[in-house]
């Protein structure tokens, strides 16, 4: 878990690992405390830093996948590039107000993030409805679990769109772009899901 921020009052409506008592505390420390209290048998590797080009590959290390819970596209594109380089999946999720989206990127097999979003949307500050990251985060967690188990139909080449204003999901089919600057030269890769995990 990588994050540089501290807990702020504005986080509490959507970042349920933190509480009023955690305001001013490092987010990674607060998250580690809550997660290990829920399950003392797990090890949470927390890293208090900002993800950037100088450290992203090292931070990902030998992970089996990357969960994108970022709030900006430059970092998402960086994680996309690292996932392609390491040939590991990227579980993308993004939110905006009542709306969210999710997809699973398998290098060499599916559209990558730049295939789906060739250009980053303009940077903006927008309100976040606390339920929206709950919906999208749960979808991402479900994708990770099914990927690790090697079961089910992943959101591969499918962008799931959540519309919280009318409680509706839709899917958009996506495809690899052979001219994509990130994955256009990728050959068909193997599915890196663990067998029988």
Question: Which residue in 18, 11, 16, 160 sits closest to 99, CA to CA?
Answer: 160
At 45-66, the pLDDT tens digits run: 999 999 999 999 999 999 999 9
CA distance 14 to 32: 17
More confident position, 70 or 185: 70
CATH number at residue 94: 3.40.50.720
Same domain flag for 96 and 156: yes
Same domain flag for 87 and 147: yes
Q: Is residue 56 part of a domain?
A: no
Same domain flag for 75 and 156: yes
Structural domain boundaries enclosing 158: 63-197
Same domain flag for 23 and 83: no
- pLDDT band at residue 5, thresholds of 50, 70 and 90? very high
pLDDT in the model for residue 186: 58
CA distance 183 to 71: 22
Same domain flag for 166 and 122: yes
List the single range of 48-52, 106-110, 126-130 with lowest mean pLDDT. 126-130
Same domain flag for 154 and 194: yes
- Predicted structure pTM score: 0.86
Q: Is residue 169 part of a domain?
A: yes
CA distance 178 to 47: 36
More confident position, 12 or 34: 34
pLDDT in the model for residue 146: 96
pLDDT in the model for residue 129: 86
CA distance 90 to 16: 23
State the number of CA atoms in the 13 A half-sphere of 103 facing the CB. Answer: 25
Contacts of 91 (CB under 8 A, 6+ apart): 65, 66, 67, 68, 102, 104, 105, 140, 143, 144, 147
- Per-residue pLDDT for 191 more than 60? no
CA distance 16 to 130: 9
- pLDDT band at residue 16, thresholds of 50, 70 and 90? confident
Instruction: Tell me the two tokens of residue 65.
Output: 């996948």
Contacts of 153 (CB under 8 A, 6+ apart): none
Same domain flag for 156 and 80: yes
Q: Please count the structural domains in the chain.
A: 2
pLDDT in the model for residue 169: 97
Same domain flag for 72 and 108: yes
Same domain flag for 164 and 137: yes
- Per-residue pLDDT for 27 more than 70? yes
Same domain flag for 4 and 74: no
């Amino acid at each position: 878990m990588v994050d540089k921020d501290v807990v702020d009052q504005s986080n509490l409506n959507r970042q349920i690992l933190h509480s009023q008592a955690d305001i001013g505390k490092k987010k990674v420390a607060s998250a580690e405390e809550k997660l290990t209290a829920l399950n003392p048998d797990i090890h949470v590797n927390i890293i208090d830093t900002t993800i950037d080009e100088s450290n992203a590959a090292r931070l990902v290390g030998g992970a089996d996948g990357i969960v994108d819970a970022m709030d900006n596209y430059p970092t998402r594109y960086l994680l996309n590039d690292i996932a392609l380089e390491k040939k590991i999946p990227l579980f993308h999720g993004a939110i905006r107000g009542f709306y969210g989206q999710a997809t699973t990127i398998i290098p060499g097999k599916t559209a990558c993030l730049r295939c789906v979003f060739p250009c980053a949307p303009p940077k903006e500050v927008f309100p976040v409805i606390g339920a929206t990251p709950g919906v999208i985060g749960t979808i991402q967690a479900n994708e990770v679990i099914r990927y690790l188990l090697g079961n089910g139909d992943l959101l591969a080449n499918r962008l799931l769109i959540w519309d919280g204003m009318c409680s509706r999901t839709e899917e958009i089919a996506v495809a690899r772009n052979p001219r994509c600057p990130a994955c256009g030269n990728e050959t068909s890769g193997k599915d890196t899901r663990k067998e029988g995990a």
